[in-house]
Structure 1
Amino acid sequence: MSIEVLSLAGLIGAIVQLGGCVLLVTLFALLRRHAGRRSYFSSWGSAWLALMLAITAIVFRYNILPTLVTASSLEGRSEVQALHFFYQSGKLIYLVLLAVGTAEYAVGFRSRVWVRGAVALSILYAGASVAVSDRITDLVVFQAPLAVSIFVYCSVTLLRLPHPRRSLGSRVTGVVFAMMAALWVIYFGAFGMPQFGIANMSTAATLVVSFNTYLDLVLQMLLGFAMVLVFMEDAKREVDDAHAELAIAHDRLRRAALYDTLTGALNRRAFAQGVGLEAAKATFGTVAMLDMDNLKFVNDSSGHSSGDETLRYLVSVMREALRPSDRIYRWGGDEFLLVLPGAKPDAVLNRVESILAAAHPLQLKAARDPVRLVASYGAAEFGSGEDLLGAIDRADAEMYKHKHRRRTPRSTPSVA
């Protein structure tokens, strides 16, 4: 079989390869709208477009042009040279854009000047190679060194990505690039035999030349879908990151809605939604209402910032002394609700009294003397979750009874 004439299998293969490129170009065009800032995917998509145009030129040259031109030989005609130049330029630009896309994916490289320069050099190289010889087999030989170099670069770059960046898609794409590099080494030998002075091609070389379009098609389809896998994995990572950020934002909003921003205690809305009441609703227990008696004096004498500091100190003291299953809710300005599952009222009252008595006086920046925590409190037992609101009312009433029994007036400070 003459190496100068494409076999029927080769002609059909070129058409089939063109169909495969059209499929890849369509797929990348559909996904490109979702690519966002992923410039590597745009570069890879442009590479497939350049390859499709190059193969279109070959299909036109060998399938359509002979039916339009009546000359006995098309060799040397300007139409043929123009189509070969178009083919060679498209193939070289395809290779350059593959390298650009890989560099963009691996290291975020993006230089329009460099890309434009590489494309311009590809076109110049295409023109020079067509000027030397317009035979399609010679053009393939001229492509081979650049193709092997770029495929090796892409393969090594993707297979040696840092561990956090490695994925199934990047590994598969790297392996396919390596297979394409090996195939183009074979092409260089098979298509270059006449230039190497080998007149009679071996059967293997003849088969490679005749069926190279099918070999290209298989690897190009594998490469295209491996690139899509890379894109989908990248998009999934972005979605996962977005979900993590949303979860953090949701947690912050939830905390802002259910927690008192001043003291960090749960707020009244949290109680209404049942937050922190799981253990209490499953058993009996005690609720306690606590009202800080000397907060007004602290606010009036030392400022509201000192009052805020005192409230934070009260909550921190209570939280450190209570059990993990107990809950503290800020019920009002200086009122707090304690929910203690499985506890009895007498034990709770004794516990609150001992906590307040043991608390160290708080030295405020704006106060001359340290301030003790002075509070009124009351407790009531609940038998089930349905009885919680009634128990709170009873504990509130007990708290006011305790307040009236106190000898120290509410407006009088207690200092250490």
Structure 2
Amino acid sequence: MDSKIGLIAQLNGVFLITILSLFLRRSLKLTALKYWTIAWLCLSFALISLRLAFDYTQLGSLLFTYYFLGEYIFGFMLIAGIRSLDSEQEMQPRTEMMIAPFLIIAVILPLLASDFNEILPIHFLIVAGFFAFAFYSARKSALRSFGWHVLHVALAMLAINFAGYFFVFTMRNAVPFANQILAYNSAVNLVLQTSLGFGMVIVLLEKVLADFQTANKRLQDAHKRLEELVHTDPLTAAFNRHAFYGFVRKGNEDGTTVAGCVGFFDIDGLKNINDCFGHSAGDAAIRVVVRSIRDIIRAEDLIYGWGGDEFFVIMVSMDAEMAETRMSRLENLLRSVKLDGVQEPMTIGVSWGFRDFTDIADLEKAISDADAEMYRRKRGRQTQSIDPANFVPTASRNIPTIDITQ
């Protein structure tokens, strides 16, 4: 193959990769892509300079300098892009200055000999060193994807290929078939550099996909935490009314049939605890009661904070009579309770009421009946201390009406 034709073919391949990098750069704001785009631009410039040097021999020294300079910057930016894959960090000014010795070599190298072939071994050795260091940097990366493997193999082959060029050009006088081998160097370079560009593109797309998946997971986690904050009472970690309305709405939308019982709980004398020991003690009492309720209900049962010291429980597939039996353990759990800020243990009283429901549509009536039962029980427990003038009938209590259809 004619060397000029091979060089033009190589230039076309590199130019296409450069165009692809420029288009990707418009959409993907990745540090590695920025460095690699510069690298391919420099390699295109280097090959154009080399091609022109064959036709304009009077400018050979200058054009060969441009060729060497473009290839060294290509190798430098290739390494910089690989090293930025994990951290997305920009090169520091001190690191950028490491290219300076290679710029000096690019200027001096064409002046060392009049025959271009005599200085090529040094150039090939330097380029092989760039590819070898890029290979080493890729191995240190945390990436182990398909694109990484393609990139990894291409870098290894390019390092071996240019090391081979160094050996052949150094020994060309002793190896008669060297010129036949080198006639295909542009074609070999085209295949390997195309593989390198292919691996780079895959790595970048895999990185974008990984970043998207990470961002999506963070968004889902944030959404989950936000839902928990919206639907959870911060004091007791019990569900709140928003969560209950969501439960009702989902049941209506799914058309599922749910049966069981509902129950209301109200702490007796919470105002006295707040007045005597402070609201921190009252909050501690609320937490103790909720924790005790959780101890006696099942894992699948749902407990909701209904406002203040009232709590609402849904026990699926359990009737009110069985639930009442379970609640007999609650009084034992709340005897001699130690609260923060209170020196002596105290017994916390809780009133409750349960009613059965056969479907989500029956929840409104079941809730109202359970609340009424709870208040009757509470009134019975406080008969000795209640002033009839201060008694608020159940019917006049401010119980929110639940719209089952929402």
Short-chain TM bin: 0.7 to 0.9
Residue 169 of structure 1, CA deviation = 2.0
In the TM superposition, 1:169-208 aligns within 5 A as 169-194=147-172, 197-198=173-174, 201-202=176-177, 205-208=178-181
Residue 309 of structure 1, CA deviation = 0.9
CA distance in 1, matches of 2:333, 2:249: 27
Is the Cα–Cα contact under 8 Å of residues 156 and 174 in structure 1 kept in the other structure? no
Gaps of 5+ in 1: 1-6, 66-73, 412-416
Query: Is 1:23 matched with 2:16?
Result: yes
Is the Cα–Cα contact under 8 Å of residues 169 and 229 in structure 1 kept in the other structure? yes
Picking from 254, 270, 290, the partner of 2:227 is 254
In the TM superposition, 1:131-210 aligns within 5 A as 131-161=111-141, 164-194=142-172, 197-198=173-174, 201-202=176-177, 205-210=178-183
Is the Cα–Cα contact under 8 Å of residues 289 and 377 in structure 1 kept in the other structure? yes
Is the Cα–Cα contact under 8 Å of residues 47 and 97 in structure 1 kept in the other structure? yes
Q: What's 2:31 paired with? A: 39
**More displaced, 364-373 or 227-236?**
364-373
Residues 391 and 134 (structure 1), Cα distance of their counterparts in 2 relative to 1, 3 Å cut: farther
Residue 217 of structure 1, CA deviation = 0.9
Residues 305 and 408 (structure 1), Cα distance of their counterparts in 2 relative to 1, 3 Å cut: farther
In the TM superposition, 1:333-372 aligns within 5 A as 333-372=308-347
Q: Secondary structure at the match of 2:303?
A: strand
Q: What's 2:393 paired with? A: none
Query: Is 1:89 matched with 2:64?
Result: no
Aligned residues: 384
Post-superposition CA distance 1:229-281 (Å, at most 9, x none):
22222222222221221121111100011111111111111111117987996
Post-superposition CA distance 1:91-110 (Å, at most 9, x none):
22222222333334467776
CA distance in 1, matches of 2:270, 2:181: 92
Matched residue type, 2:317: G
Post-superposition CA distance 1:318-377 (Å, at most 9, x none):
001111121111112111111112222222223223312332332233334333221222
Query: Is 1:103 matched with 2:115?
Result: no
Query: Is 1:311 matched with 2:304?
Result: no
Residues 399 and 169 (structure 1), Cα distance of their counterparts in 2 relative to 1, 3 Å cut: same
CA distance in 1, matches of 2:42, 2:264: 77
RMSD across aligned C-alpha pairs, in angstroms? 2.7
CA distance in 1, matches of 2:96, 2:314: 71
Q: Secondary structure at the match of 2:307?
A: coil
Residues 211 and 369 (structure 1), Cα distance of their counterparts in 2 relative to 1, 3 Å cut: same
Residues 30 and 304 (structure 1), Cα distance of their counterparts in 2 relative to 1, 3 Å cut: same
TM-score, structure 2 length as denominator?
0.86
Is the Cα–Cα contact under 8 Å of residues 283 and 383 in structure 1 kept in the other structure? yes
**More displaced, 174-183 or 206-215?**
206-215
Query: Is 1:229 matched with 2:202?
Result: yes
Q: What's 2:403 paired with? A: none
CA distance in 2, matches of 1:410, 1:259: 34
CA distance in 1, matches of 2:330, 2:357: 22
Query: Is 1:273 matched with 2:253?
Result: no
Residues 126 and 277 (structure 1), Cα distance of their counterparts in 2 relative to 1, 3 Å cut: closer
Matched residue type, 2:375: Y
Residues 149 and 109 (structure 1), Cα distance of their counterparts in 2 relative to 1, 3 Å cut: farther
CA distance in 2, matches of 1:327, 1:107: 45
CA distance in 1, matches of 2:372, 2:333: 25
Residue 112 of structure 1, CA deviation = 3.6
Q: Percent identity among equivalent residues? A: 29
